[in-house]
Structures are given as structure tokens and as C-alpha cells.
Amino acid sequence: MAKVLMIDYEKCTGCRLCEMVCSVYHEGVVNPELSRIKIVKWEWEGRYVPMACQQCTSAPCMAICPVKAVSRDENLGRVMVDSDLCIGCRMCVAVCPFGGAKFDSANKQIIKCDLCDGDPQCVRFCEVGAIQYVEAEEVTTVKQRAAAEKFSGLLQKVASAIAEVS
């Protein structure tokens, strides 16, 4: 099974370095508009969420593409757009539930995360680990562990509070 981007938004510091390195890697320019990843912010609450293509197994963009320009690369577990076939109808943009596909109006093409051919730059530069590149199965294990830790931590707190009272 291929690797996936695992996002832990709580760790994101909102610095948007991922947006910079993504656009430089793919386009040779700094331009958050051309980045395949975007940090969506609720600045006034201190909440920052990295959003990118989820590389769906049953991808709506692939299903809706009228010219079959969207395909799945099972090797890297990613969804790719063939720009030679793409007619720029933006149906993929319309159906994607995550905003993972974007229309680059300057170059008239669809851009989306391609996992940098297996070495995602966003992951490489994110020192806090808000975005990681892990085996798909591993995501669940990591999540289970984090949830269990939180849960057991709470239980311990309750237990010690009870002990203090009694």
C-alpha cells in the first residue's frame, strides 16, 4: 500500500512554509495561489488547517472528468491529471469535497498535489510534523495511540483528583 499525507492540524503553526516550498518546487515561483497545499486559517481563534488533495481511492474528480484526463497512479497512491488531455472544464474542481483540485487561470490548467513524486516538500520542510508522509495503515495506528493517550491521561487526572479529595 502506498504512503499518504497524514495531517495533524493541531501541530500546525500557520507559517505557510509548505505553501512556499510547494509552489517553488512545482512552478519555480513563490505564489501561495499556485501551491497545491493551503493553510486555511481561523486567525482570531488560532486555528490553522492544512488542506490538500486526499488522493481518494474512489475519486469524484476521476469519475466526473469527461475526457478521462484524471487517473490513479497505484504505485504512489496518487490521483493525477494529464494536462494534455485536460480541457479545462473545471468539473473536478466543482466536485472535489476538499478543494484539492485548483484551476490555475494564468496557465489554464488544473493543478493538484502529486506528492512530489514520493518526496513531498511540504513534509520535508515542516519541522513541527503537522504534515507527515506515512503508510496508509499507519495513520489509524497513530490516531488510535493519540486518542488513547488523551483518554487515559484524562482518566488518570480524574483518578488523582478523586484520590486527592478522599
The residues binding another protein (CB under 8 A) are 10-17, 20-21, 23-25, 27-34, 41, 43-46, 48, 121, 124-125, 127-128
Name the residue nearer to another protein (CB basis): 57 or 105.
105
Minimum gap (Å) between residue 129 Cβ and another protein: 10
Minimum gap (Å) between residue 3 Cβ and another protein: 20
Grid coordinates representing 110? 488544473
Cβ neighbours for 80, distance < 8 A, ≥ 6 positions apart: 70, 71, 72, 73, 114
Give the max Cα distance, the chain.
73
Question: Phi/psi of residue 110, each to 5°?
Answer: -85, 130
Name the residue nearer to another protein (CB basis): 18 or 70.
18
Name the residue nearer to another protein (CB basis): 125 or 133.
125
Minimum gap (Å) between residue 13 Cβ and another protein: 4
Minimum gap (Å) between residue 149 Cβ and another protein: 11
Compute CA 129 distance to the chain's CA centroid, rounded to the nearest angstrom. Answer: 13
Minimum gap (Å) between residue 66 Cβ and another protein: 28
Name the residue nearer to another protein (CB basis): 46 or 66.
46
Question: Phi/psi of residue 105, each to 5°?
Answer: -70, -20
Cβ neighbours for 129, distance < 8 A, ≥ 6 positions apart: 8, 11
Name the residue nearer to another protein (CB basis): 80 or 125.
125
Please answer whether residues 95 and 60 qualify as being in contact, where contact means their C-beta atoms are separated by less than 8 angstroms: yes
